[in-house]
Amino acid sequence: MIRTKLKWLIIVCLLAGIAWLTTVLIAKQLNSSKDTILFIPKTIDKSVEFWQVLNQGVMAAAKEYGMDVKVTGTTTETDIAGQIKLLEQAIQQKPNSIILAATDYNRIVPVANKIIASGIDLITVDSGLNGGVSESFIATNNYAAGRKAGEAMKSAIQSNSTLAIISFVKGSATAMERERGVRDSLSEQSDLKVTDTYYSDGSQERAYQLTVALMNNPSIDGIIGLNEPSTVGAAKAIKDLQGQSRVKLIGFDSSMDELAFLEEGILQAIVIQKPFSMGYLAVQTARRVLQGEKVSSLIDTGSEVITTANMYTMENQKLLFPFTEK
C-alpha cells in the first residue's frame, strides 16, 4: 500500500513538474514574440559596405538586448516596388517592430501608414518618410552633411570652377537632403557653377559611366558623389582616365575602396556617417518603444569630414573601422 501511494506521489510530482516546465516554455515563447523585430534596409547587396556596417550595429544591439531580429530586403536600392511588397508581407507576419530604411520619401508612406494602423511599431533609419511617419528617425543630418561636402569641395578647387553632382536614387530623402546641402553651400560662392544632377541609381558601374562622360567635358573641375557606390564609381573612372590632377572628387561614406582612393589622392575628402551607431540605436530605440518608453522623434548620429590630414587620428580610426564597437 505504501509503495502504491509513493508511486502515485512520484507520478503526481512528475506531472506537476511537466506542467510547470510547459508553462515556463510557453511564457518564454510569448515573451520572445514581444521582441520580434524585422529590419528592412534599402538593399541587402553585400558589396555596399555601408549597409553591412549598419547591419553589424543592428546585430550587436540585438545580441546585447536579447532581441529577435530578422533581416530582409531588395537586391537594389532602386527597387521601390519590391520594398513595398516586402512591407506588405511584413504586415501579415506581424512582427512587433519594423526598422526601415525607406527607398523613397513619398511612395513608401501609404504602406508605412498601414504598418502603424496594424499595431506594428515603425522605426526609420538612414532615410525617412514624408510627414515623419515613424516613432523615431535615426540618421545623419543629411542636409548638414551635404553642406560639409560642399565646403570640402570649395577648399579643394580654384575659383570659377564648374562642378557636377552624382546622386544615387531619385526621390530618396537622403539623396534630396544631401544635394540640397551641397547646393546651398556652393551657392554661397558666386563664381562657382553647378551642372544638373546625375543619378547613379546606387550602381558603381553607372557612376563610372557618368564620370567618363563628364571627364570628356573639359570644363568640369570637380565632382561630388553623394553615396558610396556613386563615389567609388567616380573614383575608378578618374583613376582609369588619369584625371586626378584636373578633376577634384568629394565623396560620402568610408568603404575600403574609398579609403584607398583617399590615400592615392583621387579623393580629396569623404563625409563619413556612423552606420554602426545608426543600426545599434535603431534596435535600442525599438526596444524602448516596445517597453512603453517615450523616445525622441529624431536622433542625429552625426557626420565627419575625413581627409588624408586627419584620417589617422585615433578618434577617426574608430569611426573608419567600427567593427570592434560595442
Q: Are 258 and 303 in contact (CB under 8 A)?
A: no
Cβ neighbours, 10 Å, residue 130: 14
**Which pLDDT score is estimated for 325?**
43
**Which pLDDT score is estimated for 25?**
47
**Which pLDDT score is estimated for 320?**
87
The structural domains of the chain, with segments of one domain joined by +, span 1-33, 35-140+275-301, 142-272
Q: How far is CA 292 from CA 35, 88, 282, in A?
A: 13, 25, 15
Q: How far is residue 179 CA from its own chain's centroid?
A: 17
**Which pLDDT score is estimated for 32?**
45
Report the distance separating Cα 303 and Cα 139, nearest Å: 10
Q: Is the pTM of this model over 0.75?
A: yes
**Which pLDDT score is estimated for 14?**
55
Two domains, one topology: 35-140+275-301 and 142-272: yes
**pLDDT less than 50: residues of the chain:** 2, 6, 12, 22-34, 324-326
**Which pLDDT score is estimated for 324?**
45
- What is the residue type of 14? L
**Which pLDDT score is estimated for 24?**
44
**Which pLDDT score is estimated for 35?**
78
Report the distance separating Cα 27 and Cα 231, nearest Å: 50
**Which pLDDT score is estimated for 10?**
54
**Which pLDDT score is estimated for 26?**
44
Architecture category of domain 35-140+275-301 in CATH: 3-Layer(aba) Sandwich (3.40)
Report the distance separating Cα 35 and Cα 148, nearest Å: 38
Helices (H) and strands (E) in the chain, counts: 11, 12
**Which pLDDT score is estimated for 318?**
86
Spell 63-95 as b/e; 16+ CB within 10 A means b: eebebebebebbebbbbbeebbebbeebbeeeb
**Which pLDDT score is estimated for 17?**
53
**Which pLDDT score is estimated for 326?**
40
Q: Which fold has domain 142-272?
A: Rossmann fold (3.40.50)
Give the residue carrying C-alpha cell 545623419.
Answer: 140
**Sheet bearing 97-100, strands edge to edge:** 68-71, 36-40, 97-100, 121-125, 136-139, 298-300
Q: Are 233 and 215 in contact (CB under 8 A)?
A: no
